[in-house]
């Protein structure tokens, strides 16, 4: 296989434009923003995985998600690829259910905190939510051919929330419930 990135800088983007698929777009185009939000999410997942997680199930699953996010970005470049499937959304749901079954039921919202891995997971969850909002905004402007992308990101943020709870539980941390004002 030939090298795909033989030269990192091309100078082609110096004027504020980039190429996605066959399209030359302004770097502030909503499609470019959506692809960038997936890249940010993927990088944040890499940060989560760099925190020395001792749970192989979480490491393997989140690594697979990183690959799927690259596929999703490719799908936005070339919509005819349809890489994000209903089966991938179902796999997220199944993993979510599996991790959640050993956790105590929640009676209130949690404050996002914990050890480094747990806090990184919570931060990544919020980045995922922003990527989802960006994708919805894109879909409202230019309908996506595959709305499974939105479902995937919605479910992924739930997976990250439960993964954060699992990591906190494994580190013997204590969940802090939101103490909202009572009127």
Q: Which CATH architecture has domain 20-96+112-170?
A: Up-down Bundle (1.20)
pLDDT tens per residue across span 59-118:
999 999 999 999 999 898 887 888 999 999 999 999 999 999 999 888 889 989 999 999
Q: Determine phi and psi for 76, rounding to 5 degrees.
A: -70, -30
Kindly indicate the confidence band of residue 5, based on its pLDDT and cuts at 50, 70 and 90.
low
Statement: residue 1 has pLDDT above 60: no
- A 10 A CB-CB count for 97 gives 10
Mean confidence (pLDDT) of the chain: 89
Q: Are strands 17-20 and 23-26 parallel, antiparallel or unpaired?
A: antiparallel
The kind and range of the H/E element at 51 are none
Q: Do the beta carbons of residue 64 and residue 58 sit within 8 Å?
A: no
- What is the model's pLDDT at position 108? 87
Residue ranges per domain, the chain? Answer: 20-96+112-170
Our separate counts of H helices and E strands in the chain read 5, 2
Residues 51, 73: Cα–Cα separation, whole Å = 25
Within 8 A by CB and 6+ apart from 22, the residues are: none
Tokens of 110: 């949690």
Q: Do the beta carbons of residue 71 and residue 88 sit within 8 Å?
A: no
């Amino acid at each position: 296989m030939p090298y795909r990135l033989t030269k990192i800088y091309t100078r082609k983007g110096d004027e504020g434009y980039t190429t996605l698929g066959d399209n030359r777009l302004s770097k502030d185009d909503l499609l470019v923003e959506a692809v960038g939000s997936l890249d940010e999410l993927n990088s944040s997942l890499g940060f989560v995985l760099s925190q020395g997680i001792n749970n192989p199930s979480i490491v393997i699953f989140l690594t697979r998600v990183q690959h799927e996010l690259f596929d999703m970005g490719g799908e936005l470049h070339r919509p005819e690829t349809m890489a994000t499937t209903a089966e991938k959304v179902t796999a997220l749901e199944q993993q979510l259910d599996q991790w959640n079954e050993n956790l105590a039921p929640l009676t209130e919202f949690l404050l996002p905190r914990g050890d480094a891995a747990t806090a990184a997971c919570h931060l990544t969850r919020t980045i995922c939510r922003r990527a989802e909002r960006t994708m919805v905004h894109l879909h409202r402007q230019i309908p996506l051919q595959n709305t499974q992308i939105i479902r995937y990101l919605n479910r992924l943020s739930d997976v990250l929330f439960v993964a954060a709870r699992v990591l906190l539980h494994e580190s013997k941390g204590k969940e802090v419930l939101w103490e909202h004002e009572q009127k």
